[in-house]
Structure 1
Amino acid sequence: MRERFLRQIILKGVGEGGQEKLFSSKVLVVGAGATGCAQAEVLARMGVGEIRIVDPDTVEESNLHRQFCYSDEDLGAFKVERALKRLEKIHPHIKVLGALGRIEEVWRDVAPGVDIILDGTDCMSAREFINEVSVHLSIPWIFTGVAGSFGQSVLLSPDGPCLRCFMEESITPLTCDTEGVYPTAAVALSMVAAHTAVKYLLGRGKEELGVMKVLDMEHWTLSRVKINPWRECSLHAKRRFRRISSFKGDDINIEGG
């Protein structure tokens, strides 16, 4: 199997040891849409040893212009099932697992034990939930959002910065449904997120923590914005969990309202 990764192993940032790290890593991809599919596929090709995917939806015709895991023959099928089949064809020597449902419903089954969580959703409430799971289970995650030709991606930490550090109140952001999306933008931001995940898995995540990459493909601009932990953050600093309301434990402060 070494032959498969020869061009990757010779990279100074990877090597034999790095490839072994990737093969022993476990990642969770939440959402099997445009960004989720692209992230999962490239991580499989790079040799990440276990990939878990969560999604509740079926393949629709409007998905096909940007969600590369699927074709016309997949219409009506569950995305998770077809995405797993594609990953198995791409790399039959890794472990791929799927959960049919929303992350709010299945997180206890899929999140514990992974090294990092990747955002493949187009839903702010799901991201807020992922953020709480990240803090509760002490697992970093990568926020990735795309709409139109614009997108952003950042590695967040259970110790801060977390999503609530710079997005304290619930907002209604731009989405693919409201703004449309260029497939090129979705894939480009997915590669940014996947590369960030690989750097983290290889032990070089510190330099990426809280560094938001902002890409506008229409105007060819790429910028970096540093996000610092907020000392008064209600989640990672004060541990007020608004979404994981069904969990009861000494380290959880369930906030009403």
Structure 2
Amino acid sequence: MTPNTALDALRTQTPLVHCITNYVAMNIAANVTLAAGASPAMIHAVEEVADFTPLCGALTINIGTLSASWVDGMRKAAEAANAASVPWVLDPVAHFATPYRARVARELLSLRPAIVRGNASEIMALAGAGGAGKGADSGDAVADAQASAVALAGDLGCVVVVTGAHDFATDGTLHAIVTGGAAIMPKVTALGCALTALTGAYAAVAAPLDAAVAALTCFAQAGEGAARQARGPGSFAVGFLDHLHAMQPGDLDEARVSWQ
């Protein structure tokens, strides 16, 4: 499925996306998902996630702001997603920062997400290759993480996405590089977390690798458009949502995607 075909499916189906994300990202993740054409829900209570997840087209789990009760909810949501054949996306934010985060990330990985999305440092560390990350920020280039992503995808049987100045997505055999975006994007808090939510939206209507590439293409193109008009991070954030909302099937420049 091409990015434009995936966007058409997203707008036609308007999937419900269950987003368990962090406090910092909730608002922008919900707004990005809505602007792109899906319907977000931000439910994390352990008492209801197992009942709610099967009602959704996809689940996303972001470990940015952890607590014990939220981890229980994440675990139950992932288990419910697997039982109901609902695809889910893991964003292992700064999993290398503390032993607790590392344990949680490994436990969630063992529940077999369809897609793992992270920056270069997060993906390298997840594959056991070290990395120079600092908190949620990457200290490594996407190119340096490509081998780790391929190995991780092969080991886990999932799609792995590395985001940065350009983006890389792989299922362990087929690889895609997506170019575009804007240098100002890292200046907007939790925009990467919002990409995870959008990836989940596309995963509800497309196969995992196609979904990842469609989300990356959509994000890159909206970032370029918003940056041309922005005066700074604040106006960029508003413009970014506007560009996502204005996109129509056929608008995406698929030439920015190269397959290997």
Q: With structure 2 as the length reference, what TM-score do the two structures score? A: 0.40
Larger gyration radius, structure 1 or structure 2? 1
More helix, by proportion: 2
More strand, by proportion: 1
Q: With structure 1 as the length reference, what TM-score do the two structures score? A: 0.41
